Structure 1
Amino acid sequence: MRILDICAYTWQAGGPPKIIFDHTQVALRYGHQVDILSPYSPGETPYPVPEGARLILCKRTPVISRFFREVSGELYQYLKQHIHEYDIIHCHGLWHFGTLAPFMLDNRVAKAITIHGVLDRWAYNNNNWKKSLIDRLAQKAYLRRASLVQINNTDEREDLMRYLGYQHPNVVIIPNGVKMSDFVNLPPKGTFRQKFNIPADKKLVLFMSRLNIKKGLDLLLPAFRDYVKDHPDTVLILAGSDDGYEAATRAFIEQQNLGDSIRVVGLLTGDDKKAALADADLFTLPSYSEGFSMAVLEAMASGAPCLVSDRVGFGEAIREHKAGELVDLTPESVRAGLEKTLSNDALRHQMSQNATNLLRNQYDIDIVAKRLLDAYELVVKPEA
């Protein structure tokens, strides 16, 4: 098959580029062709591309993209000229220009859309005026026309039905996956602590995601403030690019005199990212809304015990397999979760082992990527 993924394929975009990267590696191994079409703006850093795939960057349109960020005339022109060269177009997310443009063109090419959690009630209500405008113009109509809608969990099936008013006829539940082999050889313990001057006698709590309010930072920050009063031997590391909440985060740290207890270290990649996961006594993401969190999958794959909300995309599986500690969306619940997990070494060790077994059996990338390729095959129209 000739596959075209459309996504903002940059480090700043969060989880979808990593998902595409891992799926592309598997698709190439099965002999498929993969191109990635991405809008971008100056200053953004493209995500790595698997060897054998092709990244096509298209500049966002000035002025318009200030209000509707993904709009790109170059992207539209590329599709207009080349859409017929592909067997399937896979759009990631909703309300992006790249999710709309393919439907304006060749109706003969199969089109897939992955929701990525954006129809969750919390996510949908954020910036709703833009979404309502795009819905009226096209998005609902185009989603109805999609050959395939990929969702990550059963909650998204309900979100999709609520949004459309009926159940789309071709929905497939395929979770995100993680390449377990990427986390077999981690940097030696202590590497991250040494680089960032974190004392060895302090427990390290790691938050690694975009600094966005939807990630639950407004819950985590006051929860950790209260926790560290009684447990000053603990440090919270906030690792991630700014996505609208860094200024508020830094203001909170300053106002609460937490500069020695909370560190903002920016986006971590490569060995720095793995070193942070290797050194973490606890990974946390009390998020309000996730399609299926790659950050949590990677933390689990690295062996870091996890304290997360049940909104990370696979909360029921985490609960069933005792693969992490789940918290409610309140500072008090997060505070209690910190207390419970950080005071019990045996509990954290058992959660880590349970998470590893869960990932190997259900979320290894080779398993889930093959399921997506099989779903493609069912909707791709044979050539005349």
Structure 2
Amino acid sequence: MLNDTYDVINIHGYGDYAADITCLLKKLRLLGDTALILTIHGLYGLKSGYLASDFSVPFPSMRQRIRSFFHHFLYDYTLGKLETNTFDKVIIQSEDDRRYLSKNGLKEDRIVKIPIAINEIFFKHTSTVPRSDRYYILYAGRIDPFKGLDVLAKAIKELKSIGISLKCIIAGKDCGYGSQLRFLLNKLDIVDQVEVRDYISQENLLELYSHAVVTVLPSLSEGFSLALVESIATGTPFIATPVGANPELVALTNAGILVPVGEPKILAETILHVIKDEQLWSNMSTNGQKSVSNFSYEKVVEKHYQVYSELTK
């Protein structure tokens, strides 16, 4: 980096070593007039610090609450704050990110909101599987404590208790929560209904979305969920919590419904409502596919180009 001259350096990830090192090099005046951009893919560290200090919010465990709380003060108010204020522009994916960064002292004129683009394979998916051929609930994403998978499991149990035995597929990389999740599924006696899958290729993921009746994302904290956009690209409506960019996606696409964080009974009722109301399902399915062009590579690249052009005038 020091041996070459660049017009722009774009670093990805709040709290990553690359961002910290770039910040320090800039402060040491070793990067000259190079414009710096930080692209943030979710403020999990910063957000979890605020969540940990708010005892009205459900949290995975007291140990994680304490760790996140101290991380928040030790990093976010020192190097994290210095990092975000050193970059010329900070690209975010949601108004939620904007709010947390503003709390941490970042000026509004440094913030630019640009969504993430989804894989082109989802735009080649032109046909929609009819509602009658969809037979399971889908969660697609990391298997970790912040994704609210315990709430989803309890919602499946709620449905089972009233005689609704819907299959559920949880697909994604295990980030340290898989064993706890499987223990909970056993405890709730829903192992026969919930299938946990590891890594899924893009082609197989497309197939999973296409045959799901609804995608569920009951997260405690979120950035910009690619899973929800991928879901609506296949005509599958979603149910999500009002965190991260989820409220904005609901408003923009009219393809999803928001439910409170940590409320399995309400989640179960909403799942039942979506799958039983065929007109509602059809409307959300159609709305989602009409709006998905907002997340194409072409549109997202154009917005990035505008930021680069502004900084290199």
TM-score normalized by the length of structure 2: 0.83
Measured in 2, the distance between the counterparts of 1:132 and 1:186 equals 48
Which of 24, 27, 35 is the matching residue for 1:104? Answer: 24
The structural deviation recorded for 1:232 is 4.1
Say whether 1:142 aligns with 2:75: no
Measured in 2, the distance between the counterparts of 1:289 and 1:231 equals 31
Q: Is the 8 A contact 1:308 1:327 kept in 2?
A: yes
The structural deviation recorded for 1:372 is 1.2
Q: Is the 8 A contact 1:283 1:306 kept in 2?
A: yes
Say whether 1:230 aligns with 2:162: yes
Point out where structure 2 has 5 or more consecutive residues left out of the alignment. 53-64
SS in 2 for 1:375: helix
C-alpha distance 186-221 of structure 1, shift in aligned 2 (>3 A): farther
1:121 corresponds to which letter in structure 2? K
Measured in 2, the distance between the counterparts of 1:201 and 1:185 equals 16
Measured in 2, the distance between the counterparts of 1:247 and 1:315 equals 31
Q: How many residues end up aligned between the 2 structures?
A: 290
Measured in 2, the distance between the counterparts of 1:335 and 1:289 equals 20
The structural deviation recorded for 1:131 is 4.4
The structural deviation recorded for 1:80 is 4.4
Match of 2:38 in 1: 113
SS in 2 for 1:283: strand
Measured in 1, the distance between the counterparts of 2:246 and 2:133 equals 33
Matches within 5 A, 1:233-244: 233-244=165-176
The structural deviation recorded for 1:293 is 0.7
Say whether 1:174 aligns with 2:114: yes
Match of 1:75 in 2: none
Say whether 1:246 aligns with 2:184: no
Deviates more, 1:129-138 or 1:276-285: 129-138
The structural deviation recorded for 1:149 is 0.8
Q: Which deviations, in whole Å up to 9, do the C-alpha atoms of 1:318-372 show, x marking residues without a partner?
A: 1465211211111122111111112122221210111122222x33331122111
C-alpha distance 189-363 of structure 1, shift in aligned 2 (>3 A): closer
Q: Is the 8 A contact 1:123 1:289 kept in 2?
A: no
Say whether 1:215 aligns with 2:150: no
Measured in 2, the distance between the counterparts of 1:346 and 1:378 equals 46
Deviates more, 1:316-325 or 1:123-132: 123-132
C-alpha distance 368-114 of structure 1, shift in aligned 2 (>3 A): same
Higher relative contact order (CA 8 A, sep 6+): 2
RMSD across aligned C-alpha pairs, in angstroms? 2.7
Point out where structure 1 has 5 or more consecutive residues left out of the alignment. 1-78, 191-199
SS in 2 for 1:281: strand
SS in 2 for 1:111: strand
Matches within 5 A, 1:317-328: 317-319=249-251, 321-328=253-260
